[in-house]
Amino acid sequence: MMHLSKTILCTVLWIPLAFLHAQDIEYDKQLGAEGARTVLTQYGIDDSKTSEYVKKVGDNLAGSLTEPIFEYQFNIADTPEPNAFALPGGYVYVTRGLLAMVNTEDELAGVMGHEIIHAYRRHSIKQMKKSILPSILKIPGNIIGAFSPNLGSIINAPSNLFIANYSRKHEKESDELGVGLSAAAGYDPYALAPILERLSAEVELLTGQEEKKGYFSDHPYTPDRVDNINQIAGSARKGTDNRIAQSDNEFLQQLDGMWFGDNPAYGTFNKSRFLHPTLKIGLQFPENWKTINSAQAVGGFSKDNKAVFVLSIPQQQMSPEAYSKLVIEKLQKEYKLEPVKAEPITINGLNGYTVHLYKEQKKQESIGINLTWLASDGNTFQLASAYTDDNQEVTKKIENSFSALSNKEVANIIGHQIKIIAPKEGESLEALCKRTQNTWDVPFTAMANGLSTSQPLSSKRKIKISVEKKFMVEDK
């Protein structure tokens, strides 16, 4: 096991251990295990060959902690959002979206080192329960969550759940000790800086599109932060090099075949139309809605946050009618309320049941909640919506777009995958993009690879691009 350098690192690394009690460790582990289950259901865990590689890099780093405290677990959260996060108890995640931006094992080690320190130093996760639907959340008794946990969790924005709101002090500490840790594990301690700058460049390139919560809103980039990293890196002591990928090309090869954007196994968006290849269903959201797709549910909300719509499969499988009875019973028993309306329904040939569950008259606007169940191909789907009066029609329109997909439609569902290719000697990036049918444009490809758009390429340095890939149901 490596000893970290005597400078800042040694002292700081030893501090927490003196105060740490066995029950604290147990508490962290328990909290982390609960969080890990939620990550699994909300994001899914990528189990491709890339995952094995990420675990090895993580083990390399954790093996260099002076006293590990936890059994660290490293996973790829199956989401396109570029992010990395740590749960208490040593659960460390990088997302597919972040991996797609990484160019070397050293950069990956920099990011993972930072997250390991968040868990190691027990920078507690302060969940931001920031509501994205303030008016709807004021409904009494958390009625939405009670009747549709998925609707509730979308309102509480699943991606917000694990994104910690660390203090600047904690971020600084994670940067500094993380840099020391990756150096101790034999990595280039300066490598955290370029990946942070690249993530920042990605956000800039995507500005103008939908605003996403990413690595940078929780880990704000400032030139100060990079300066600080470079300064710490200068005095970090480098341990024995145990890297897994022996070259940068070999590193890139680990990303080959990884999904970029949605993993179609959880359904995917074609513009604003949601398509699910294994459940064989489609749903049309309005074009200007913000949408969230997770392993558990797909949802969307209007720009003014006054309407939300969530499609999911409830845990128990019952008929639409049985569901509606259950919900009405619950409403009467627990809330002493009667549904506004409950009736059978047929949408695009699919039979179901709809319950207009609740309507609350407020001073200026009233809020309604609707639950509909539809049976298709052996599954019962729940379509839940909450809306203000003037949004009732638009949520009804989404509901009416629910349909079963034909085999032909299913066969045409595509996703995007990372592909690693060798340029021709002296080829321009533009020519390469054309030749390979890269779905990223030239500026994005340059950014993702840490290149300039005009520089001729070398055949020795491989490039990552994104290509369309038909989703085969057997792929699942």
Report the interface residues with Zn ion, using CB under 5 A.
Answer: 174, 219
Give least dist CB 218 to Zn ion, A. 7
Give least dist CB 53 to Zn ion, A. 22
* Widest Cα–Cα separation across the chain: 74
Give least dist CB 166 to Zn ion, A. 5
Give least dist CB 120 to Zn ion, A. 12
Query: What is the distance between the alpha carbons of residues 112 and 73, in angstroms, rounded to a whole number?
Result: 11
Instruction: Pick between residue 196 and residue 245 the one whose CB is nearest to Zn ion.
Output: 196
The SS3 call for residue 276 is strand
Instruction: Pick between residue 92 and residue 297 the one whose CB is nearest to Zn ion.
Output: 92
Give least dist CB 261 to Zn ion, A. 24
Give least dist CB 83 to Zn ion, A. 10
Do 223 and 213 meet the contact criterion of CB atoms below 8 Å apart?
no
Instruction: Pick between residue 216 and residue 335 the one whose CB is nearest to Zn ion.
Output: 216
Instruction: Pick between residue 112 and residue 245 the one whose CB is nearest to Zn ion.
Output: 112
Query: What is the distance between the alpha carbons of residues 107 and 335, in angstroms, rounded to a whole number?
Result: 53
How large is the angle between the packed helices 192-206 and 168-184, nearest 10 degrees?
130
Residues 6 or more apart in contact with residue 23 via CB below 8 angstroms: none
Residue whose tokens read 């909450």 = 386
| Segment (H or E) for 415 | strand 414-421
Instruction: Pick between residue 105 and residue 173 the one whose CB is nearest to Zn ion.
Output: 173
Give least dist CB 161 to Zn ion, A. 16
Pairing of strands 366-376, 350-361: antiparallel
Query: What is the distance between the alpha carbons of residues 368 and 360, in angstroms, rounded to a whole number?
Result: 6
Instruction: Pick between residue 219 and residue 243 the one whose CB is nearest to Zn ion.
Output: 219
What token pair was written down for 437?
């049918």
Instruction: Pick between residue 174 and residue 395 the one whose CB is nearest to Zn ion.
Output: 174
Residue 283 CA: distances (Å) to CA of 155, 161, 356, 390, 455: 19, 26, 20, 21, 44
Instruction: Pick between residue 174 and residue 385 the one whose CB is nearest to Zn ion.
Output: 174
SS3 of the chain: helix, strand, coil, percent, to 5: 45, 20, 35
- Which residues lie across from 343 on neighbouring strands? 354
The SS3 call for residue 299 is strand
Rg (CA), the chain: 24
Give least dist CB 84 to Zn ion, A. 8
